[in-house]
Structure 1
């Protein structure tokens, strides 16, 4: 029977891998897989620019498994680094699935839990290690990981590693592993930091860019609501989530764990049952986060509130909506957040809430993705709350800071306002309250 052009058969992988690929439900290679797999099989260094959800893991793991073929010795021959525990676990699960008809041994190393079990797994013999940089270096310095046999190294989500400050650990790692090896670096964006890393890490790489940098998934519909304050955001979120049929699997992103907690509590009070809602952030224990993600992936949890700790690398194919309760301050994270929906040829929708202090960031994001985000009218049932004075002042200060970034000579609206009014009298309830705590005022003793 003649093989059709776009199947995994074209890569001449061994039968064990092809059987596992078929069993996993993969039929047609994605663009990144079509381009990267033949190059990786040929032993070339690769620089891959591709957003999340494009099939990067299979693009490097299938050639890696083909190269290793079978278990051998006690020490790892390949290392895959990922920025977060969640992504490391995701990669490990995917590779284990592809390797199910081989005897190749895969161990995942990450922080947040005790190292005892991980050390025992390494001592039992390992062919491929998937790890976060911190935990890998910890076990290396404890002499639990021997690196002399490493001949393939992969950096996944390299831009996120740079954002999270892993560069010193990666540089230290590059000093200790064998110089003769195949290297592959994958990143959703190609920032200056990633470019510098690629020069240090890769040798005459072939660059693959399957989509323009920082573009958003074609299957994702984007929508933006202009909202005045936190309370109105909550009202809008509550209104949307009442439609359970449409909003059937929703990821809500916030900037901080404090806001995530507030959103979680408000949703419990207003619209979502406790058994269909979870919240995860960096303060949550590892097991709690794993259990929450498993429940969300299975569909038993309808709504997940999260910080950007889960914006990348979590492969849940049927997320109906991503809601940016807060606009991300790292603009590439907008792409990673909304990339959680519209995966595996499924359609999805990304909704963003924008206050006046967010307009600056939205313009930067729109420039990055090279298109405007369509605005939408607030639903008729959403009550617009008045903005409390402290919240409004915080937003105005933020706008002043943004203007100073663009123009260092800008003094700020608060500066002008502060010097154009006389100090309030004791009987001025409004004025005195407005001026309390502004920058530059001397403290009363």
Structure 2
């Protein structure tokens, strides 16, 4: 029976039409809980949700909130020069936009009064760097108890004291000098008239100086001697100048010069003559070791030769002080002012005691120098050699206008041997590159040449200057650093 039922079911299965449609169910499909297509009803609890799905859904919701909360940036104003075809504005558009937003740019606080200068090749010449050294702070001299000191070290020689007024004027005319001021002393004509002792005169003769220059003939008596009613001390009072120099003692004499080269030249001469009296001389300048210079000052010095900036630095470091300065010399004051040292020079003058003896030397006497002289000098004696603005009559000046660098070079080669027969030849050029070019070209012509410019360190400069001064080399090519 069982077998017959199975056979009957098989026949029915194969006899059925394959194309007949399947029976349609009348029941709707309902997904079970946990199924991917399952949607919980409004009354059902969500506790059966998958924890990972719930976490990811929370992240998506947070991201959507942050996206919708972002502030929409306004489109750039096309009137401000923003181009639409590129992402960023170019330099020209940036300039126009800036000028539109800042209409007063370049009008207020405009410090561009100085025009840009160009060299012969059309290259802009860099302006001089401003000196950013702060001056010394002001000093209240009324709170300082200064010791009195001697100002008059000059005894008039008998040959000079007997000169009549016409003879004095004749001597000044012969020297080519003009003198104004209260009771100027008579000029001299020999080193013996200064009243120096034999030791100093011997040192002067050893240096092959035969007679004083016109400025020395009148300025030395004025510097060493002060008329009795112009002295700033009571008779019989003086500082004990014979006391032994102590460590840390500031200088008695201070000489300011504009450049390190001039400072070293003055130092060499001062040391030579100071050695006669065992006077300690120290040279301080920018570019040298500040530590070595401070140590030399801490050991004590009667005379200091310095550039203004370095002197201020050392005073601020308390390596020395200016309380003992009774003799101040400003050499080439006009050049110090041209280099931007006027505030520093004035602060040093104001820092030293008010009754000091001050000497000011200047090749020109511009209004700034004249104001300085009125401010720092008391009852000054003015000595002028030649006329103001006139070239030195001791120098023969020959001016030749050359049309090109080639013409200059040909002229130099044709005349350099003749110049060398008369002494050393110093060739000034404008720029370092020109100095190197001229020096190399001369070496190719088998001339011995030394080179001097601002990019050389101090030891190299000293070596070159020494070689030229000793006439070991006859030609030096230099920029204005050697001026």
Tell me the TM-score range normalised by the shorter chain.
0.5 to 0.7
Q: CA deviation at 1:221?
A: 2.6
Matching of residue 99 in structure 1 with residue 282 in structure 2: no
Tell me which stretches of 4 or more aligned residues in structure 1 moved more than 4 Å: 2-5, 67-71, 242-245
Say which structure is richer in strand: 1
Native 8 Å contact 2:255 2:329 kept in 1: yes
For residue 72 of structure 1, what is the aligned residue in structure 2?
245
Q: CA deviation at 1:70?
A: 7.7
For residue 380 of structure 2, what is the aligned residue in structure 1?
205
> 3-state SS of the aligned residue for 2:276?
coil
In structure 1, C-alpha distance between the alignment counterparts of 2:386 and 2:268, rounded to whole Å? 26
What residue ranges of structure 2 are gaps of 5+ in the alignment?
1-157, 161-187, 228-239
Matching of residue 81 in structure 1 with residue 253 in structure 2: no
In structure 2, C-alpha distance between the alignment counterparts of 1:194 and 1:68, rounded to whole Å? 32
Q: CA deviation at 1:220?
A: 2.9
Matching of residue 306 in structure 1 with residue 478 in structure 2: yes
Look at both structures and tell me which one has the larger radius of gyration over its CA atoms: 2
- Which moved further from structure 2: 253-262 or 84-93? 253-262
Relative to structure 1, the CA distance from residue 193 to residue 41 in structure 2 (aligned partners, 3 Å threshold; closer, same or farther) is: same
- Within the candidate set 310, 322, 327, 1:147 is matched to 322
Once the two structures are superposed, the pairs formed by residues 270-281 of structure 1 within 5 Å of their partners are 271-273=445-447, 276-281=448-453
Q: CA deviation at 1:226?
A: 2.2
For residue 355 of structure 1, what is the aligned residue in structure 2?
none
For residue 457 of structure 2, what is the aligned residue in structure 1?
285
In structure 2, C-alpha distance between the alignment counterparts of 1:247 and 1:22, rounded to whole Å? 24
Native 8 Å contact 2:452 2:479 kept in 1: yes
For residue 17 of structure 1, what is the aligned residue in structure 2?
200
In structure 2, C-alpha distance between the alignment counterparts of 1:83 and 1:272, rounded to whole Å? 35
> 3-state SS of the aligned residue for 2:438?
helix
TM-score by length of 2: 0.55
Aligned length: 285
In structure 1, C-alpha distance between the alignment counterparts of 2:338 and 2:200, rounded to whole Å? 34
What residue ranges of structure 1 are gaps of 5+ in the alignment?
45-66, 312-445
Deviations along 1:385-423, whole A, 9 cap, x unmatched? Answer: xxxxxxxxxxxxxxxxxxxxxxxxxxxxxxxxxxxxxxx
Structure number with the bigger relative contact order (C-alpha 8 A, sep ≥ 6) is 1
In structure 2, C-alpha distance between the alignment counterparts of 1:160 and 1:202, rounded to whole Å? 19
> 3-state SS of the aligned residue for 1:278?
strand
For residue 226 of structure 1, what is the aligned residue in structure 2?
401
In structure 2, C-alpha distance between the alignment counterparts of 1:219 and 1:213, rounded to whole Å? 15
Relative to structure 1, the CA distance from residue 68 to residue 210 in structure 2 (aligned partners, 3 Å threshold; closer, same or farther) is: farther
In structure 2, C-alpha distance between the alignment counterparts of 1:123 and 1:279, rounded to whole Å? 36
For residue 217 of structure 2, what is the aligned residue in structure 1?
34
Deviations along 1:316-368, whole A, 9 cap, x unmatched? Answer: xxxxxxxxxxxxxxxxxxxxxxxxxxxxxxxxxxxxxxxxxxxxxxxxxxxxx
Deviations along 1:13-41, whole A, 9 cap, x unmatched? Answer: 23332232222222322221121111111
For residue 292 of structure 2, what is the aligned residue in structure 1?
117
Q: CA deviation at 1:278?
A: 1.1
Native 8 Å contact 1:71 1:127 kept in 2: no
For residue 48 of structure 1, what is the aligned residue in structure 2?
none
> 3-state SS of the aligned residue for 1:108?
strand
In structure 2, C-alpha distance between the alignment counterparts of 1:229 and 1:296, rounded to whole Å? 29
Relative to structure 1, the CA distance from residue 245 to residue 229 in structure 2 (aligned partners, 3 Å threshold; closer, same or farther) is: closer
In structure 2, C-alpha distance between the alignment counterparts of 1:246 and 1:29, rounded to whole Å? 27
For residue 346 of structure 2, what is the aligned residue in structure 1?
171
In structure 1, C-alpha distance between the alignment counterparts of 2:394 and 2:298, rounded to whole Å? 44
> 3-state SS of the aligned residue for 2:211?
coil
Relative to structure 1, the CA distance from residue 70 to residue 11 in structure 2 (aligned partners, 3 Å threshold; closer, same or farther) is: farther
In structure 2, C-alpha distance between the alignment counterparts of 1:192 and 1:21, rounded to whole Å? 36
Let me know the Cα RMSD of the aligned residues: 2.3
> 3-state SS of the aligned residue for 1:130?
strand
> 3-state SS of the aligned residue for 1:260?
helix
Deviations along 1:134-170, whole A, 9 cap, x unmatched? Answer: 1111111111011111111110011111111110111
Q: CA deviation at 1:239?
A: 2.4
In structure 2, C-alpha distance between the alignment counterparts of 1:88 and 1:139, rounded to whole Å? 16
Relative to structure 1, the CA distance from residue 129 to residue 69 in structure 2 (aligned partners, 3 Å threshold; closer, same or farther) is: farther
Relative to structure 1, the CA distance from residue 245 to residue 7 in structure 2 (aligned partners, 3 Å threshold; closer, same or farther) is: closer
- Within the candidate set 159, 162, 165, 2:337 is matched to 162
Native 8 Å contact 1:255 1:308 kept in 2: yes
> 3-state SS of the aligned residue for 1:212?
coil
In structure 2, C-alpha distance between the alignment counterparts of 1:68 and 1:189, rounded to whole Å? 35
> 3-state SS of the aligned residue for 1:264?
helix
TM-score by length of 1: 0.60
For residue 106 of structure 2, what is the aligned residue in structure 1?
none
Matching of residue 137 in structure 1 with residue 312 in structure 2: yes
